[in-house]
Amino acid sequence: MAQGPLPRDERGPAAQGHPPPPTVATGRPPAEPRRPVVLVAEFCPPEGLRTLEAGGCRVVYAPDGPREPGRLRRLVRSADALLVRNQVRVDEELLAGAPRLKVVGRLGTGLDNVDGAAAARRGVAVVYAPGANARAVAEFVLAQMLALARRLPEAAAMGASGTWLRPALVGEELAHRTVGILGLGRIGQALVPLLRPLVAAVATHHPRRGPEDPGWRRLGVRWMPLDDLLAWADYLVVLLPLRPETRGLLDAARLRRLKRGARLVVTGRGGVVDEAALAGLLREGHLAGAALDVRALEPPGPCDPLRGLPGVVLTPHVAGLTVEAQTRVATQVAADVLRVLRGQPPRHAAVLPGPPGPAPSPGASADRGRGPTAADAAAPAATPGTLPPRPPSR
């Protein structure tokens, strides 16, 4: 005959809410459940580390990962999550040595150094922070434009040396200048309101979005064909990500289409601009100046063709490095890493965990130069194991 449930005091201690008794074999309580291990292989602001620790993770902070590849490979073997910036290459080899890995967090917006296809094949999620540093980069672009217009690097160097040749430092005002933005995404959308009170006009070109996109009218900018934009702009701001169709887009022929005396600001991704051709046009005086925060090779090699040229401002990929932006990036990525480790969908995924799916197109998730459009809102949800879908190219 079936018996009813045991009285409360006859059930096991776990069922009554009490911890189990010590084991007979060891005389100790069972070990606590293993906490997820998060390997942080590059610099991360403390707010991000605290978010991970508060979420129950054991954080292994090894910010010298790019310079200690052997140690990185050893540590990643036991990691459930890996956080990187833009120096550690998360490729097939590194992923193969990380059998426990469930998620890679990219502390930034671009994904040039993360092999999304390899991650998708292994069911490893990739999360990042699109838009978290847009304001910081937009302000930096404006600062670079002003530095070029007023020849601030040369003025600072002259002042530091004690030289006082004011006539050699005559600059120009932005009020009558035109600005072309190549790649009007989140950063470009943050930049336009900063430019509008200062410049004569703003126009744009985006390789994947045509003149019919309603976003241009909403922002109050004109869309132009690429060659027309090059011939029109006094300042060309390049915010494009590095993809197969954007690699070398501004080659020698296209750079020569820029109007004589134009200036170039590059803060998207290195590799979009032919740096040797740019150096040649600067030396011959066709272009008046250039400011590059991103390079084809980072850091550049000893034969950098742009180093030491007058009118050139070179910075070490620092456009997004503000206290506020880096805090936003770190906490946003840490929160998404915790969501993946808990089996919850992340808010900003470049690759979602799941069974192997079709390989993503190279660089498809590294779009620093693309912002949300009306088509994005209607786009279908991402399929596990793939990159989230994009609206059709226009």
List 135, 177, 263, 269, catalytic entry: 269
**Partners of 180 in beta bridges:** 203, 236
Separation of alpha carbons 9 and 224, rounded Å: 79
Separation of alpha carbons 380 and 63, rounded Å: 37
| Max CA pair span of the chain | 107
Structural contact between residues 168 and 208, judged by C-beta atoms closer than 8 angstroms: no
List 92, 93, 298, 324, catalytic entry: 298
* Short-list 308, 302, 303, 264, CA closest to 283: 308
- Is 212 a known active-site residue? no
- Is 347 a known active-site residue? no
Structural contact between residues 191 and 183, judged by C-beta atoms closer than 8 angstroms: no
Separation of alpha carbons 253 and 280, rounded Å: 12
Helix 323-341 crosses helix 134-149 at what angle (to 10 degrees)?
150
* Short-list 217, 186, 192, 202, CA closest to 142: 192
Separation of alpha carbons 370 and 72, rounded Å: 32
Q: How far apart are the first and last CA of the chain?
A: 73
Cα dist. 308→279, 285, 303, 313, 332 in Å? 10, 15, 11, 9, 38
- Is 151 a known active-site residue? no
List 208, 243, 263, 317, catalytic entry: 317
Look up tokens 């910010």; give the residue: 63
Residues whose CB falls within 8 Å of the CB of residue 128, separated by 6 or more in sequence, listed in order: 105, 106, 108, 109, 110, 111, 333, 348, 350, 365
Q: Which residues have a catalytic role annotated?
A: 269, 298, 317
